[in-house]
Amino acid sequence: MLAKKMKKNDIKRDPFIHLTRLPDPKARHYWFSKLISVVIALLICALITNAMAPGSFGDFFKYLGLGTFSSSLQTLRVFQDTAILLLIALALTPAFKMKFWNIGAEGQVLIGALGATIAMKFLAGTMPNALLIFVCLALSILFSIIWAVIPAIFKAFFNTNETLFTLMMNYLASGLVAYFVFVWVPNGSAVLGVINPNTHDGWLPKLFGQDYLINIITVVIITVLIFVYLKYSKHGYELTVVGESQNTARYVGINVKKTIIRTLILSGAVCGLVGFLLVNGTSHTLNADLVSGRGFTGILVAWLGHFNPFEMIFTAFLVAFVTLGGSYAGDIFRFGTAYSKVLIGIFFFVFIASEFFLRYKMNFSTEVQAFFKKIGDFFAKIFGPIGRFFKKIFTPVGRFFKKIFAPVGRFFKKLFKKKDSPKEEPVSKEE
Amino acid sequence: MENNIALQFVNISKSFGSKIANKNVSLDLRKGEILAILGENGSGKTTLMNAAIGIYYPDEGQIFVNGEEASIHSPKDAYNYHIGMIHQHFKLVDVFTAKENVILGLSKEDYKKQEEATKAKQDLKLQKIREEEGREPTKEELKKYNKRIKDSKSYNLEEAKRKIIKICKKYGFEVDPDKKVYEMSVSEKQTLEIIKALYKGVDILILDEPTAVLTPQETKKLFNVLRNMASQGKSIIIITHKLNEVLEISDRVSVLRKGEYAGTVVTKDTNEKELTELMVGRKIELNIKRPAVKNPHDRLFIEGLTYTNREGVKALDDVSFVARGGEILGIAGIACNGQRELLEGIAGLVHLDSGDIVFHNPKKNRPVTFFHHNVKQIRELAEKGALYDDDTKETLNLKGVSTKKIKEMVQKEKIMFYEDEIIDLRNKKPIEIRNLGIKLSFVPEDRLGMGLVGNMNIIDNMMLRSFRKGHSIFLNRKKPKYLAEEIVDELEVVTPNLKTPVRNLSGGNIQKLLVGREISSSPKVLMVAYPVRGLDIKSSYTIYDLLNEQKERGTAVVFVGEDLDVLLALSDRILVLSGGKVAGIVDARKTTKEEIGLLMTKSIEKQEVSYNVSQEDEEE
């Protein structure tokens, strides 16, 4: 009798939706969800574009590709933008891991660029070119470190809010740059032209005849370095502990103040490197809009990459790709400059939403579930045969590969197992 | 049959991610009875009850109230079904008085109901006057009648006070409706929570581990009140994991085990042994071992510790005691009476106002090792004349002796101490204490907030204390890995692998890792705060065994506990803290629970007296 009662009341008492937490996703599920997100985001972008300019659904993809990979120059440009974004994100990552919300990368990069410009403008001709480049680098890193370490000191000793402080430092930096440009350019146009256009003093050399290659190589090195620093160095370990819990840090005797300041010095140094690359490697000039918001986009890149330097490569590339491709498409469709930002917004939105679906299961009420089932059945009717067809084809292929690779896998497994025999030395109870 | 049942759970299931909190649990609560829900920590007691009051919505299953299926989506819904719950952490506004807290959050409908009830009651009174006394009510009486109805219509403190006093009288509570919450003791706050629930017309009251924060005396008082309530028709569920309390208070006991329903027994017909078996699922030895103290020696001298916290309250007030090697010193006291500050003060985590912490390193006529001292420190010690040469038995002079020679001598154990080493630890940072070579291990109360890092894996957590070793700028994960393997192996830590973030493990396993790490450095002093809080019975006994092992090794163990039965069974001496002061140090083998209970409340009573005096002063 009870069972009957349950059935009858089931529909009425269900909440429309309730959430259940899922266990942490596996790596392959995670990356699959990322792939799906990219596809969905692209589709939404295309649909919106189609709504604005009817019939452009296919053209959207075409121009997206044309704007990014149609020539080697464009391809290099994509990688260059990826490199700069990634570098800024890398600079922020140690601070973020420490839960120091440094949103001042914009200012830190800009002030580094100012340092490089000063050296380039006033020391050109007084020393050999190689030394000049080195001085530019040193000065930009020094400037950025100062800019990053001021909020860190205040945070460490007076517990000021680092978010507001670093934000404020951004405005100071752009104000300072605007002031110097104004002073340096006597004609009042407030546009600093290309520095040393004839002698190319202080310009980074072209590697293999390519402009941006040196940036890309730098960023590859820095990515690996930051990854190693965070994962395998004592400093990286300390800053993670400080970020997770300052109480734990005190308990095990980590100097919290020192760690905060040291980490921000690193953060600032990488920002200085970005400023140096922007001035000496790319634009060879300075204006207050040099960084153009990438200091903030870098924050998102770092977050969406879950502070993992290698995952950040992916997010940085995606942002660069969509920005460049989007602005190219936007130009052709005559949508204006905001168009690419709309696309970026859609991408971020879908990505963040995917995290939600990855971590929570939605339980719909019985009614809704029945409705979904109807839809599911419908699709199953259509796609079921296709799926079965593919299965028929690919299962033998899979078996074939398994046959080939399984012995190889076993061989490697054996090889590695021998390498670390677990019984080396028992841990001494002492020490 | 259904008329007799107040609350019924049918096949309740609830899971959080991969963790199953409840699985097909069915149990029922009869009207006017006290049902104890017994189970180890993590067996899903609280989750089940949270489903009854709408904090969680069960994944499957139904809840019936008075025989009718109930749909409870929020605590407000629960109140509509007359279900109320007293949580472990009280939900009161500190700066409000008792009565203000009680009528806080009453909705329009509540007032409407209240108005109707009052009206009906007053009507009855008037009718009584008319019928029994045969007269019309006087003007004053009618005025009073109207006023009462008006009072009950909306926010009115007078009406609230009247009703609170009525409830107090009915069930035997003692609460002053005008007292501010922050002036109340824990027991008073709890009483207030119960009154709050009763005020809203609750018939089914759920109490989540109500005695965890009470002294034995206060517990008795609470139980009296609960019995009163039950005898007047209220149904009560009490969640607990303390067996003796279950036997004392309840009519029936329902036992949960690992989220599943294990059975219900009538309290009269059962005993501790049977209940434990139901709870754990197998027979278990319930005796805590206490090995005899062997050659104790004074290890840590604490003298007049005083500490004022950020709020300006004296958390520690002139605390003095001696911790001896080879002995377990229990520290008892109501929660937040200075236990945490005391341990953190000794460990160098808080800056003390005054007092001395002196560590005696038993070094007399023993060789110097590199274990505690480096060459520079040995030179300093030699300059002070504290060392002698084992061959010549003469005071050592290391001036002009090469570092290599010293190293050689140390390795051959030729350099000896004249006396025990005496080291002042006051206001030394943890790292300084460690650099002095003192092995002081500390298992803090807050496991994931202080002792371990929840998001890091087991190996990384193992090296929290030792990662600095060596000159390399890179971490060496080899030794921590071996340590992790050893601890996981020896203490039977249940984990998928060593790379699992610690926060994903259960409380017991987390605690085993923490204690294991702290013990692995073979400490001279081991301080543990609430080491078995939230642990199942088996893990708890593992921890007790570890502490006893350390005691037999000659470690000075300081054990802060909350369960007096355990403290009495495990420790050799018990120090009772009360209001940051030492209320007494007693021999655990001779004392009783009641004596400790009295000591625990000693200075609090004094405080209350002094407060009353000051209030009178204000009135004058």
The distance from CA B66 to its chain's CA centroid, rounded to whole angstroms, is 35
B298 touches chain A (CB under 8 A): no
pLDDT of residue B287: 76
- Inter-helix orientation angle A309-333/A27-52, to 10°: 10
Distances (CA, A) of B312 to B315, B316, B321: 9, 11, 24
B24 touches chain A (CB under 8 A): no
Domain annotation covers residue A216: yes
What is the chain A residue with the closest CA to B56?
A18
Name the more confident of A15 and B605: A15
Find the CB nearest A253 among B16, B17, B430: B430
Same domain, A283 and A390: no
- Which of A290, A333, A422, A284 has the alpha carbon at shortest distance from A57? A333
CA-nearest residue of chain A to B452? A248
Question: Measured between alpha carbons, how far is B617 from B371 in angstroms, rounded to an integer?
Answer: 61
pLDDT band at A142 (very low <50, low <70, confident <90, very high): very high
Computed over every residue of chain A, the mean pLDDT equals: 85
The CA distance from A394 to A383, in Å, is 16
- For residue B404, the Cα-to-chain-centroid distance in whole angstroms is 53
Q: What pLDDT digit, counting tens, does each position of B255-287 carry?
A: 988 888 888 889 888 888 888 888 887 777 667
- Please name the residues in contact with A8: beta carbons below 8 A apart, sequence gap of 6 or more: none
More confident residue, B559 or B430: B559
What confidence category does residue A15 fall into, taking pLDDT thresholds of 50, 70 and 90?
low
CA–CA separation, B374 vs B152, rounded Å?
78
β-sheet bridge partners, residue B364: B417
Spatial separation of the C-alpha atoms in residues B357 and A83, rounded to whole Å: 56
A413 and A265 in a common domain: no
B285: helix, strand or coil: coil
A86 lies in the same domain as A232 = yes
Label residue B431 by pLDDT band (50, 70, 90). confident
Strands B314-325 and B297-308: antiparallel
Which of B69, B464, B466 shows the shortest C-beta gap to A9?
B69
A37, part of any domain: no
Note the pLDDT of residue B527: 93
Rounded mean pLDDT, B443-462: 89
Cβ neighbours, 10 Å, residue A120: 26
What is the per-residue burial (b if ≥16 Cβ within 10 Å, else e) of B50-81? bbbbbbbbbbebbbbbbeebbebeebeebbbb
Q: Which of A217-221, B270-274, B329-333 bottoms out in mean pLDDT, i.e. has the lowest?
A: B270-274
Number of helices (H), then strands (E), belonging to chain A: the values are 15, 2
pLDDT at B604 > cutoff 60: no
Q: Which two tokens stand for residue A368?
A: 């809704």
Highest-confidence segment of A56-65, A239-248, A337-346, B45-54: A239-248
How does pLDDT run across A97-115, given as a tens digit for each residue? 999 999 999 999 999 999 9
User: Is A234–B453 a contact, with Cβ atoms under 8 angstroms apart?
Assistant: no
A307 and A389 together in one domain: no
A12–B450 C-beta distance less than 8 A: no
CB A118 within 8 A of CB A131: no
Q: How close, in Å, is residue B431 to chain A by CA atoms?
A: 5
Q: CB-based contact (8 Å) between B482 and chain A? A: yes
Look up the pTM and report it.
0.74
Inside any domain, residue A415: yes
Chain A residues in contact with chain B using a Cβ-Cβ cutoff of 8 Å = 2, 5-6, 9, 12-13, 15, 18, 20-24, 232-235, 237, 240-241, 244-245, 247-248, 250-255, 363, 422, 425-427, 429-431
CB A346 within 8 A of CB A49: no
Q: Residue B596's closest CA among B405, B397, B206, B331?
A: B331
Mutate to test the interface with A, among B63, B374, B464 (most CBs of A within 10 A): B464
| pLDDT, average across residues A14-43 | 82
Cβ contacts (< 8 Å) between A252 and chain B: which residues? 430, 464-465
Residue at A102 is within a domain? yes
For residues A226 and A16, what is the distance between their CA atoms, to the nearest angstrom?
Answer: 46
**Rounded-to-integer distance, Cα A183 and Cα A309, Å:** 40
How many residues are listed for chain B in this entry? 620
Mean pLDDT of chain B: 83
End-to-end CA distance of chain A: 67
State whether A236 and A313 are in the same domain.
yes
* Residues B110, B115, B120: CA angle, nearest 5 degrees: 130
Residue A286 half-sphere exposure toward CB, CA atoms < 13 A: 34
Q: Does A30 map to a domain? A: no
Q: Residue B246: what are its φ and ψ, rounded to 5°? A: -55, -45
* Whether residue A163 is found in the same domain as residue A284: yes
Range of the domain at A387: 367-420
Please check whether residue B556 is in contact with residue B550, taking contact to mean a CB–CB distance below 8 angstroms: no
- A256 pLDDT band, cuts 50/70/90, is very high
Co-location of A201 and A248 in the same domain:
yes
β-bridge pairing B68-70 and B260-266: unpaired
Judged against a pLDDT cut of 80, whether residue B398 lies above it is answered with: no
Residue among B143, B159, B63, B146 nearest B110 (CA): B159
Confidence at residue A13, expressed as pLDDT on a 0 to 100 scale: 53
Is residue A347 included in any domain, yes or no? no
**The two three-digit tokens of residue B338, written as one number:** 């200075």
Contacts of B444 in chain A (CB under 8 A): 251
Q: CA of A359, closest CA in chain B: separation in Å?
A: 9
How do B260-266 and B421-424 pair as beta strands? unpaired
In this complex, do B449 and A426 lie within 8 Å of one another by their Cβ atoms?
no
- Confidence at residue A418, expressed as pLDDT on a 0 to 100 scale: 54
A-B contacts at Cβ under 8 angstroms = 100
Residues 6+ apart with CB under 8 A from B451: A248, A251, B443, B444, B514, B518
Helix (H) or strand (E) holding A60: helix A57-69
Q: What's the one-letter identity of residue B422? A: I
Confidence of residue B109 (pLDDT cuts 50, 70, 90): confident
Q: Which helix (H) or strand (E) holds B578?
A: strand B573-578
Q: The complex's ipTM?
A: 0.73
pLDDT at B572: 92
- Considering the domain architecture, whether residues A373 and A317 belong to the same structural domain is answered as no
Which residues in chain B have Cβ-Cβ distances shorter than 8 Å to A255? Answer: 431
Suggest the residue from A9, A252, A359 to mutate for an interface test with chain B (most B CBs closer than 10 A).
Answer: A252
pLDDT band at B133 (very low <50, low <70, confident <90, very high): confident
CA B123 to chain centre: 50
**Interface probe, candidates A6, A251, A254, A430, chain B, greatest B C-beta count within 10 A:** A251
Looking at the predicted structure, is the pLDDT value of residue A1 above 50? no
Asked if B458 and B500 count as a contact pair (C-beta separation under 8 A), the reply is yes
CA distance A274 to B218: 66
Please name which of B480, B454, B457, B482 lies closest in space to residue B467, comparing C-alpha atoms: B480
Predicted confidence band of residue B371 (pLDDT cuts 50, 70, 90): low
CB contact under 8 A, B473 and A233: yes
Q: Which of B69, B429, B528, B550 to mutate to test the interface with A (most CBs of A within 10 A)?
A: B69
Buried b or exposed e, range A287-309, using 16+ CB within 10 angstroms: bbebbeebbbbbbbbbbbbebeb
What CA–CA distances, in Å, run from B36 to A22, B79, B270? 32, 21, 13
Chain A residue numbers touching B430 (CB-CB < 8 A): 250-253
Q: What is the pLDDT of residue A238?
A: 93
In terms of Cα–Cα distance, which of A295, A277, A269, A292 is closest to A219?
A: A277
Query: Who has greater pLDDT, A93 or B473?
Result: A93
- Work out the pLDDT band at A421, boundaries 50, 70, 90: very low
Please name the residue of chain A whose CA is at the shortest distance from the CA of residue B484. A427
Same domain (yes/no): A241, A331: yes
Could you report the per-residue pLDDT of A186-211, keeping only the tens digit for each?
Answer: 777 777 878 877 777 778 877 776 66
| Alpha-carbon gap, residue A298 to A77, rounded angstroms | 17
Asked if B349 lies within 8 A of A250 by C-beta distance, the reply is yes
Query: Do residue A164 and residue A278 come from a single domain?
Result: yes
Distance CA B74, CA B64 (A): 16
Measured between CA atoms, how close is A141 to chain B, in angstroms?
23
Q: Is residue A164 part of a domain?
A: yes
Statement: residue B534 has pLDDT above 80: no
Overall average pLDDT of the A328-341 stretch: 84
Of all residues in chain B, the one with the smallest CA distance to A11 is B71
Q: Is A237's CB within 8 Å of B475's CB? A: yes
Under a CB-based contact definition with an 8 Å cutoff, are residues A223 and A317 in contact? no
Highest mean pLDDT among A149-153, A329-333, B241-245: A149-153
Which segment of A211-220, A414-423, B25-34, B597-606 scores lowest on mean pLDDT? A414-423
Q: Does a structural domain hold residue A29?
A: no
Q: Buried b vs exposed e over B112-139: b needs ≥16 C-beta within 10 Å?
A: eebbeebeeebeeeeeeeeeeeeeebee
- Comparing alpha-carbon positions, the chain A residue that sits nearest to B435 is A253
Cβ pair A23:B431 closer than 8 A: no
Torsion of CA B52, B53, B58, B63, to 10 degrees: 40
Is B86 in contact with B167 (CB distance < 8 Å)?
no
Nearest-CA residue of chain B relative to A247? B450
**Residue B77: pLDDT above 90?**
no
What is the distance between the terminal CA atoms of chain B, rounded to a whole angstrom?
61
The structural domain count of chain A equals 2
**B453 → closest Cβ in A248, A426, A431:** A248
CATH number, domain with residue A211: 1.10.3470
Helices (H), A123-245: 129-158, 162-184, 213-232, 234-244
Task: Mark whether A152 and A233 lie in a shared domain.
Answer: yes
CB B453 within 8 A of CB B464: yes
| DSSP category for residue A233 | B
Buried/exposed B334-364: b ≥16 CB within 10 Å, e otherwise: beebbbbbbbbbbbbbbebeebebbbbbebe
A362: phi then psi, degrees, rounded to nearest 5: -100, 125
d(CA B544, CA B285): 13
Environment class of B560 (CB within 10 Å of its CB; exposed 0-12, middle 13-18, buried 19+): buried
Residues B235 and B227: beta-carbon distance below 8 Å: no
Residue A74: exposure state from Cβ atoms within 10 A (0-12, 13-18, ≥19): middle
CB–CB contact B371 A255 (8 Å): no
* Full set of structural domains in chain B with CATH: 2-105+166-280 (3.40.50.300), 107-154 (no CATH), 297-361+426-439+522-620 (3.40.50.300), 363-419 (no CATH), 452-521 (no CATH)
Chain A interface test: which of B453, B487, B503 (most A C-beta within 10 Å)? B453
The confidence score (pLDDT) of residue A8 equals: 41
- For residue A82, the model assigns a pLDDT of 92
> What burial class does residue B30 get, using C-beta atoms within 10 Å of its C-beta: 0-12 exposed, 13-18 middle, 19+ buried?
middle
Give the confidence band of A143 by pLDDT, cuts at 50, 70, 90.
Answer: very high
* One domain, residues A204 and A325: yes
